[in-house]
């Protein structure tokens, strides 16, 4: 389950990837057309279960207010003092967290396992394979103008991992005001 973003963010992502490549970072970079804000990973599910889930989520978020969140900083996850994932940080937003919590309730009632971790909303830029010395200073030096992403729906996607990266297909759109849309 994810939130789609916009063209402004796609352009920023393309620009940031070019900057990081010039700095010497090598990574499995997110393709601009694949950029999204993941809310939940659902794992392998039968299509019938996903259809039921889409309609249950649709009932739960019906009338949820359209809102926006702000992308405002560069960040990273590290392991053993090495960068693993570069990401764009999202300014704390109570409406986004409220949406996440509402969907989490539906998932629990639907008996889908949900990891109960702290929700750290972010947009993945790339999964790092190699990096230059002083990588932390380089990442922290990257700045950009804040971007707003408007949200009025949630997407339920399938993903297929390939050598060229994941291929996402939107199965359902859960619109806050229009119910569930089946995407062929």
- Which residue carries 């352009």 as its tokens? 11
How far is Cα 98 from Cα 105, in angstroms, rounded to an integer? 11
Strand-pairing partners, residue 87, are 75, 124
Helix (H) or strand (E) holding 140: helix 135-140
- Which residue carries 């392991």 as its tokens? 79
Strand-pairing partners, residue 69, are 149
72 has catalytic annotation? no
Q: Which two structure tokens, joined as six digits, stand for 177?
A: 């005001």
Query: Out of 68, 72, 122, 134, which one is annotated catalytic?
Result: 122
Instruction: Give all strands of the β-sheet with 179-182 in edge-to-edge order.
Output: 36-38, 2-4, 153-162, 165-175, 179-182
Under a CB-based contact definition with an 8 Å cutoff, are residues 156 and 171 in contact? Answer: yes
Write down the number of H helices and E strands in the chain.
4, 10
> Which residues have a catalytic role annotated?
36, 122
């Amino acid at each position: 389950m994810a939130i789609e973003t916009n063209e402004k963010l796609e352009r920023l992502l393309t620009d940031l990837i070019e900057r990081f490549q010039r700095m010497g970072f090598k990574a499995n970079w997110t393709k601009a057309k694949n950029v999204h804000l993941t809310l939940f990973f659902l794992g392998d599910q039968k299509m019938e279960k996903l259809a039921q889930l889409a309609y249950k989520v649709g009932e739960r978020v019906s009338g949820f207010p359209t809102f926006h969140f702000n992308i405002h900083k560069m960040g990273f996850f590290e392991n053993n003092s090495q960068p693993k994932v570069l990401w764009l940080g999202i300014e704390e937003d109570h409406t986004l967290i409220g949406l996440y919590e509402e969907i989490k309730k539906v998932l629990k009632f639907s008996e889908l396992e949900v990891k109960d971790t702290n929700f750290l909303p972010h947009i993945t830029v790339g999964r790092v394979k190699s990096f230059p010395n002083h990588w932390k200073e380089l990442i922290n030096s990257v700045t950009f103008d804040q971007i707003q992403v408007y949200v009025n729906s949630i997407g339920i996607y399938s993903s297929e991992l390939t050598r060229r990266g994941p291929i996402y297909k939107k199965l359902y759109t859960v619109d806050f005001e229009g119910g569930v849309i089946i995407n062929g």
